[in-house]
Amino acid sequence: MNKLLNTLMLVACLGFFTSCGEKGASEKSEATNNNTKQLGITVMTLANPFFVELADAAKAEAEKHGYNVVVLSGDDAEKQAKQLKDFISQNVDAIIVAPKNTLAIGEPIKAANAAGIPVFTADTGCSDPGAKVVSNVMTDNYGGGKLAAEAMIKGLPNGGKVLILDFKKAQSCLLRVDGFKEVVAAHNQAHPNKKIDIVAELDGSGSEEPSKKATEDQLNATPDLKGIFAINDPSALGAVVALKKANKLEDVKVVGFDGQRIGKEAILRGEIYADPIQFPQEIGRLTVQQMLAYKNGDEVKSEILIPTKLYFQEDAQKDPSLKAGK
């Protein structure tokens, strides 16, 4: 009887330890699942191909390193602020944002700072000095604006009246205009008889339709307009539509900015004179690489500027990406 009792107790104990072992394995599995790394990305708008390329490159780079990635279109400042708050509530491991409004994005970034979630900006930074951004990867927009002015001077060798289609809510676009003006001012001082006369700066909102309307208004005010500097390709294409409607496309040189495919195709057709081209895929990849370095405890740069390159019709004619089927 005692022998049978001892045997039953031994079996019970073995069963207890076995069940404890199985529970531990289950908890470990759940912990592994819960430790999946999460990255939240929100860009200015996915209606702009530039940000699609940037986001796609960032997503691919992060996924190579085991991150689950959510990409959202900001579209307006209020919506993008809510997206950041949602990322915080989801306790993501990091946030990448290309701000729709560089000042308004400050408050949600501060909330991420308070939650201990690192924030990285891409394409344009945050202008709120109280918000902490680990690293900002962007085009050298000031340098690109200077190149745009050089293109305009080349396109208007005798000078002329010029309209700027700007977008003051984006820091990157402000820098482009500042760089443009610096080179124009130096040119005008050196060549007063070939002056580039900036007659107006109008808000094109970085979009085709508002830029079309602004160009139409300026053509009515300045019939002898000779040049337009648009802060991105959608704005430049809006200006092209207005110039075609007014039968003035041959009379006005349009300089855009970006080097999106739609812009390059317009340059190939001779509708846009030139673009300082950006490299959105490189911006996306480098932003994620900065994030990975930071998470690994490595030193990261607070800002990385990527130079632009001028792109003319002769460049478009040799561009393999514009060949049929590509």
Q: Give me the average pLDDT of each 10-residue run along the chain (326 residues).
A: 44 38 32 70 92 96 97 96 98 97 95 98 93 97 98 98 93 93 98 98 96 98 98 96 98 96 96 97 98 97 97 96 68
Looking at residue 22, its pLDDT comes to 32
CA angle (79, 279, 152) in 5-degree steps: 100
- pLDDT value at position 35? 65
The tokens for 8 are: 């039953």
Element holding 227 (H helix, E strand):
strand 225-230
Residue given tokens 């040189």 in the structure block: 253
Q: So what's the pLDDT on residue 229?
A: 98
Give the C-alpha distances (Å, rounded to integers) separating 58 from 119, 122, 285.
Answer: 14, 10, 5
Helix ranges restricted to H, the chain: 2-34, 49-63, 77-89, 106-114, 141-155, 171-190, 208-221, 233-245, 261-268, 280-295, 313-317
Amino acid found at 273: Y
Which of the listed CATH numbers 1.20.120.1200, 3.40.50.2300, 3.40.50.20, 3.40.50.970 matches domain 37-133? Answer: 3.40.50.2300
- Give the per-residue pLDDT at 324: 55
Give ranges for CATH 3.40.50.2300 in the chain: 37-133, 141-278+312-322
Whose structure tokens read 């080097």?
Answer: 259
Q: Tell how far CA 127 is from the center of its chain.
A: 15
Assigned token pair, 311: 């792109």
- Give pLDDT, residue 91: 97
Q: Which two tokens stand for residue 23?
A: 């529970």
Q: How far apart (Å, rounded) are the C-alpha atoms in residues 165 and 272?
A: 14
User: How far is the C-alpha of 107 from the C-alpha of 202, rounded, in Å?
Assistant: 28
Whether pTM > 0.85 for this model: the answer is no
Q: What is the CATH number assigned to the segment(s) 141-278+312-322?
A: 3.40.50.2300
